[in-house]
Structure 1
Amino acid sequence: MSFVIRAATPDDLQAIYEMAKLTGGGFTNLPADRKSLEGKIQRSTDCFARKDDDLSDELFVLVLENTETGEIRGTCQLLTQVGQKWPFYSYRLSTLTQHSAELGRTFRAEILSLVTDLEGSSEVGGLFLHPNERAGGLGMLLARSRYLFIGLHRARFADRILAELRGIIDDAGDSPFWDSIAGRFFGMSFDEADTFNALNGNQFIADLMPKHPVYVAMLSDSARHVLGRPNVSGRAAMRMLENEGFAHENYVDIFDGGPTMTARTDQVHSIRNARNAQVAGLGDGGTTSLVATGRLADFRCAYGKVVDGEEGVTLDPATANVLRVGTGDMVRWIER
């Protein structure tokens, strides 16, 4: 069975919508709303069509296609510069140390401050793999294909990159973190607020969110327990991000308290270590690798066998066929 990552098109709307309904909520970049997804795909299509290479506020949506059946089995997104249309809010966890000479004691308090520190960064997000395909490294293919895309279009991305991981949501679909802070000010449930944010933007957060620092000690026990921790389904994603060089630098999501991972773009493993090469020929054998080719809407990425040689790389014929490349074409590749 063969899979390829490619640019999403308007024809993929129904398949992406069906996957969005499987996310279980808390997935702002992939709302289960057909009109919103249609707008995202159209915006992405327009961004793929723009030929200028300057950095601006863009969204690229990619899909994972089974090349044998034509089915769409996963999706992911890249945002080139967050916080341009609306502020990009995060909570920053810091420590305040205070000393009382009279008591002879030092107190250290953890504090959450509402910040827009990450504004202007690029973001990788919106990754969802159909539950029936969560084997064979397809999640890794989806995730790492984004870095090969960035490497092929480096000028269109910022020097810092982030990834938000879903926080912990209980069996009832509620967020202990939301209920302990923002829910007290917004008069709506976590699911209602998350859905409203996905569909309408976050200006309502600027209007209603408390601006003063919040002492972690004043949160509920359940909120403190989930602070900075990913959802169970996001633990593997967190490990993949760490393997790429991302780190949790005490930024958390203002809705569910999930960790925001950050990295310098040029230091991300699959960006820094990927290589450009000409296809010198086709043949069997080689090292299993991620191989990408094409600019913008012509981008394609797949697993394949690569032999690195002095004259270029040799690809296995099946991969060359999936990527639609032949001898003399350029590819960007990195070992799996």
Structure 2
Amino acid sequence: MSFVIRAADTGDLQALYEMAKLTGGGFTNLPPDRNSLTGKLEASEAAFAREGEEIVAETFVLVLQNTETRDVRGTCQVFTAVGHDWPFYSYRITRLTQHSRELERTMSAELLSLVNDLGGSSEVGGLFLHPGERAGGLGLLLARSRYLFIAAHRHRFGDRILAELRGIIDERGGSPFWDAIGGKFFGMSFQEADEFNASNGNQFIADLMPKHPVYIAMLDDEARKVIGLPHPSGRAAMRMLEHEGFSYEGYVDIFDGGPTMVARTDAVRSIAGAHCGETVDCGLAKGEKALIAAGEMADFRCCYGARELRGEGVAIDAQTAELLRIGEGETVWSIPR
């Protein structure tokens, strides 16, 4: 089987909706709501179509397609500038140390402080692979294709990039973190708040969330022990992000307490190591295994293939050239698999 990453369009609505129903909740960027998904796909098509180099708040949706069956089996997203249209909120874990001379005692407490530190950053997110395809490195193809897309359109992205990982969700679909903090101020369950955020944005957080720091020691045990932990299904994604150069710097999601990973865009391994060159041969018989991408904006396509660097040019195999719909003399971006 052959798979290719391509730009999503409104014709992918049903496939995305079916995958959204499989996420198990807490997946803000892929809500099981047709109207929200339609809006996201329309915004993505507009972003792909826009010309210009200025950075504005845009969403690019990519999909993984089986080229033989034409079935869409995965998706991922790239956001150019979070917090551009409304504030992007995170909790940051900070520490307060106080000393009493009378008691001769120093006390240190961890706090959750509501911040906008990450506003203006780009973001990679929305990655979901159909459970029936979780083999053969397709998750890695989805994840790393986003970095080749960013490398190929670097002027449309910021100097810092983040990735939010879903936090711990219990058996009933609730969040111990939300129940301990947000749920006490909003009068809605985690699922209700998450669905509202996916459809309407998080301005309601700015309107109702208390601005004072929260002492972690005052939270219940269930909430404290999930702060900064990814959902079990996201542990592999966290390792991939760390391999790319992302790190956890104490930022957590305001809804479920999941970790936010941060990196300098140009320091991300798959961006810094991406090779850009023209194809000098599209009939390579044997070469290094690589992720190879071609095409700008809506014509972007990415797949696994074979390459051989030849000076500033690159040779690729015939199947890859067919999947990418290119010939000799065209620009490709590639990174070793």
Q: What is the distance in 1 between the residues matched to 2:201 and 2:58?
A: 15
| Match of residue 254 from structure 2 | 254
Q: What is the distance in 2 between the residues matched to 1:2 and 1:105?
A: 65
- The aligned amino acid for 1:252 is V
| Match of residue 299 from structure 1 | 300
Q: What is the distance in 2 between the residues matched to 1:206 and 1:55?
A: 24
| Match of residue 123 from structure 1 | 123
Map 1:151-170; keep pairs closer than 5 Å: 151-170=151-170
Map 1:151-230; keep pairs closer than 5 Å: 151-230=151-230
Q: What is the distance in 2 between the residues matched to 1:88 and 1:330?
A: 36
Deviation at 1:310, TM superposition (A): 2.5
Q: Deviations over 1:246-280 (max 9, x none)?
A: 00000000000000000000000000010101111
Q: What is the distance in 2 between the residues matched to 1:51 and 1:184?
A: 45
TM-score (norm 2): 0.98
| Match of residue 141 from structure 2 | 141
Q: What is the distance in 2 between the residues matched to 1:306 and 1:105?
A: 64
Equivalent pair of 1:167/1:226 in contact (CA under 8 Å): yes
Give % identity. Answer: 67
Equivalent pair of 1:230/1:258 in contact (CA under 8 Å): yes
Equivalent pair of 1:75/1:142 in contact (CA under 8 Å): yes
Deviation at 1:311, TM superposition (A): 5.9
- The aligned amino acid for 1:302 is C
Q: What is the distance in 2 between the residues matched to 1:211 and 1:334?
A: 44
Q: Secondary structure at the match of 2:233?
A: helix
Q: What is the distance in 1 between the residues matched to 2:89 and 2:175?
A: 18
Deviation at 1:16, TM superposition (A): 0.7
Q: Secondary structure at the match of 1:144?
A: helix
Q: What is the distance in 2 between the residues matched to 1:58 and 1:189?
A: 29
1:52 aligns with 2:59: no
Q: What is the distance in 1 between the residues matched to 2:193 and 2:35?
A: 18
| Match of residue 268 from structure 1 | 268
1:308 aligns with 2:317: no
Q: What is the distance in 1 between the residues matched to 2:314 and 2:266?
A: 24
Equivalent pair of 1:290/1:335 in contact (CA under 8 Å): yes
- The aligned amino acid for 2:137 is G
- The aligned amino acid for 2:305 is G
| Match of residue 72 from structure 1 | 72
- The aligned amino acid for 1:239 is R
Deviation at 1:202, TM superposition (A): 1.0
- The aligned amino acid for 1:318 is Q
1:35 aligns with 2:47: no
Q: Secondary structure at the match of 1:171?
A: coil
Q: Which moved more, 1:199-208 or 1:64-73?
A: 199-208
Q: What is the distance in 2 between the residues matched to 1:330 and 1:207?
A: 47
Q: What is the distance in 1 between the residues matched to 2:275 and 2:284?
A: 19
Q: What is the distance in 2 between the residues matched to 1:322 and 1:155?
A: 26
Q: Deviations over 1:274-294 (max 9, x none)?
A: 010111112211111000011
Deviation at 1:208, TM superposition (A): 1.1
Q: Secondary structure at the match of 1:242?
A: helix
| Match of residue 335 from structure 1 | 336
Equivalent pair of 1:91/1:113 in contact (CA under 8 Å): yes
Q: What is the distance in 1 between the residues matched to 2:208 and 2:253?
A: 16
1:22 aligns with 2:9: no
Q: Secondary structure at the match of 1:226?
A: coil
Q: What is the distance in 1 between the residues matched to 2:15 and 2:135?
A: 20
Aligned length: 336
Equivalent pair of 1:280/1:311 in contact (CA under 8 Å): no
Equivalent pair of 1:129/1:139 in contact (CA under 8 Å): yes
Equivalent pair of 1:278/1:331 in contact (CA under 8 Å): yes
TM-score (norm 1): 0.99
- The aligned amino acid for 1:223 is A
Q: What is the distance in 1 between the residues matched to 2:189 and 2:248?
A: 27
Equivalent pair of 1:164/1:261 in contact (CA under 8 Å): yes
- The aligned amino acid for 1:273 is G
Q: What is the distance in 2 between the residues matched to 1:31 and 1:285?
A: 42
Q: Secondary structure at the match of 2:225?
A: helix
Equivalent pair of 1:167/1:231 in contact (CA under 8 Å): yes
Q: What is the distance in 1 between the residues matched to 2:254 and 2:10?
A: 32
Equivalent pair of 1:4/1:64 in contact (CA under 8 Å): yes
Equivalent pair of 1:57/1:79 in contact (CA under 8 Å): yes
Q: Deviations over 1:3-62 (max 9, x none)?
A: 000000111111111111111110111110001100110110011001112111111000
Deviation at 1:206, TM superposition (A): 1.0
Map 1:316-335; keep pairs closer than 5 Å: 316-335=317-336
